[in-house]
Amino acid sequence: MDKPLRACVIGHPIVHSRSPLIHGHWLEQYGIKGAYEKLDVAPAILADFLSEIRLGSWLGCNVTIPHKQAVMTLVDSVADEARKIGAANTLWLEDGKLKATNTDAYGFAANMDDFAPDWREAQTCLIIGAGGAARAVVHACKEAGISDVTITNRTTERADELASEFSVHSVQLIEALQNLDLYQVIINTTSAGMGDIPPLPINFKSARSGTIAADIVYAPLNTQFLLDARTHGLRTVDGLGMLLHQAVPGFEKWFGQRPVVDTSLRRLILDDLGEP
Ligand code: ATR
């Protein structure tokens, strides 16, 4: 019997994942008779679920909170990128082996390429935040060739630790925010400004014109960070494209077709987010 052409996203909880909408759109667009589901997988049954993939019940899966670190110890091989970032979000079977990679850095970079392609020419960037999302962004900025990457964070020790791990600079948040003119790209990777969490008190007045401000938050799409940046004449990149682009490599590995992130996909997710 043929193996099922299906992939999924696993997490715990998983209800809010938009991955089924993204992959479902591509399956329809490319006329692929496959499926993409979302599964609530509790930590206690994670290893059992990965065995199901090895047995061929699934082509692979996306992985979200809280499994992004745990899966790395349970698969057969971990791509360099995931190892450096310290988390995996995409799993697939290849030559009978269960492999893992991280596509968040790719997603971030591809979104920047779409909306501010000259970001790769920047020499300086400031990354605000030191959590899991910041790790992927630091990796992407280094890979893009930005020579002077600086991390800042509410909890300074976390910024210092991350900076030392990735061999970049760190600076206290208050100092960073007072010297925004030093940076050509300023990126928010914190959850500040998302849902009910108050936004960071950033005054972009001191930033240079031409500076790019990017947020990885996409709900709301126009975060206070981006609105303030725009008010001061900065160029801005919102977080939705990172979500869309990070899905591309998984779809290609599972279904054999490299999908395109286009305006119809963006519109679909904007509608789901209730954004005009
Ligand atoms: P993720 O994996 O999504 O990055 P995380 O590891 O919990 O999540 O990290 C969240 C980031 O947002 C951290 O940098 C956090 O700062 P702390 O390390 O000081 O906790 C930052 N963050 C969350 N809420 C914030 C707020 N209200 N103001 C400033 N930074 C905030």
pLDDT tens, residue by residue, 164-196: 999 999 999 999 999 999 999 999 999 998 888
Catalytic residue status for 97? no
Question: What is the model's pLDDT at position 196?
Answer: 86
Question: What is the model's pLDDT at position 236?
Answer: 98
In 3D space, the residue among 164, 207, 160 whose CA is nearest the CA of residue 187 turns out to be 207
pLDDT band at 4 (very low <50, low <70, confident <90, very high): confident
What pTM was computed for the model? Answer: 0.97
Instruction: Say how far apart CA 31 and CA 255 lie, in whole Å.
Output: 11
Least confident of 21-25, 158-162, 194-198: 194-198
What count of residues does the chain have?
276
Instruction: Say how far apart CA 245 and CA 210 lie, in whole Å.
Output: 25
Which residues are CB-contacts of 50 (< 8 A; sequence separation ≥ 6)?
Answer: 71, 74, 75, 91, 98
Question: What is the model's pLDDT at position 124?
Answer: 98
Ligand 1 center–CA 187 separation, angstroms: 13
CA-only gyration radius of the chain, Å: 19
Ligand 1 within 6 A of CB of 249: no
Least confident of 28-32, 84-88, 198-202: 198-202
Mean pLDDT of 16-20: 96
Ligand 1 within 6 A of CB of 178: no
Atom of ligand 1 minimally distant from the CA of 158:
18
* Percent over 90 (pLDDT), the chain: 96
76: how many CB neighbours lie within 10 A of its CB? 14
Count CA atoms within 13 Å of residue 196 on its CB side: 0
Ligand 1 center–CA 1 separation, angstroms: 48
Whose alpha carbon is nearest atom 26 of ligand 1? 192
Question: What is the model's pLDDT at position 231?
Answer: 96
Q: Tell whether the model's pLDDT for residue 2 goes beyond 80.
A: no
Ligand 1 center–CA 132 separation, angstroms: 9
Tell me the average pLDDT of the chain.
96
Q: Tell whether the model's pLDDT for residue 1 goes beyond 70.
A: no
pLDDT tens, residue by residue, 202-241: 999 999 989 999 999 999 999 999 999 999 999 999 999 9
Name the DSSP class of 41.
Answer: -
